[in-house]
Amino acid sequence: MALVLAGVVVLDCAEPEKLAAFYKELLDADETDVTANRVEIRAADGTRIAFRRDAKATPPSWPRPENSLQVHLDFHVTDLDEAERRVVGLGGRPLDTKDVASPFEERGCADPAGHSFTLRLRPTMAPKPG
């Protein structure tokens, strides 16, 4: 058995309840652990994310260089347009990442607290027609 096991990604934010609600809806997740200063959720695929209260938390500025990446999440999606609409509908926002080179079809977004994440198109495994 491994000595160290992967735990959970924890995002610092001023309002963990509100940020957990955003990701809970985005990922169709359930709350698994709630305390006065921390909320943890688990998505249907088992991914766990927690949100810890930090009254002095400052949002990252990615893709701008100052105060850039503090943490970054990638989410695989089957439809970039629909996923982006869902993000915006839940209170997130798209990020202008036109100058960021990537070999993937993806879009940068930020949650309501300003944490950046990427919606990355999951490639289909179906054979190409022809």
- pLDDT tens for the 130 residues of the chain, in order: 655 466 788 898 999 999 999 999 999 999 999 999 999 999 998 989 999 899 888 877 666 666 555 666 788 898 999 999 999 999 999 987 665 555 568 888 999 988 888 888 876 655 555 5
- pTM for this model (two decimals): 0.71
What is the rounded CA–CA span in Å between residue 86 and residue 130?
34
Domains annotated for the chain, with CATH where assigned, are 8-54 (3.30.720.120), 61-125 (3.10.180.10)
Q: Where are the alpha helices (DSSP H) in the chain?
A: 16-26, 80-89
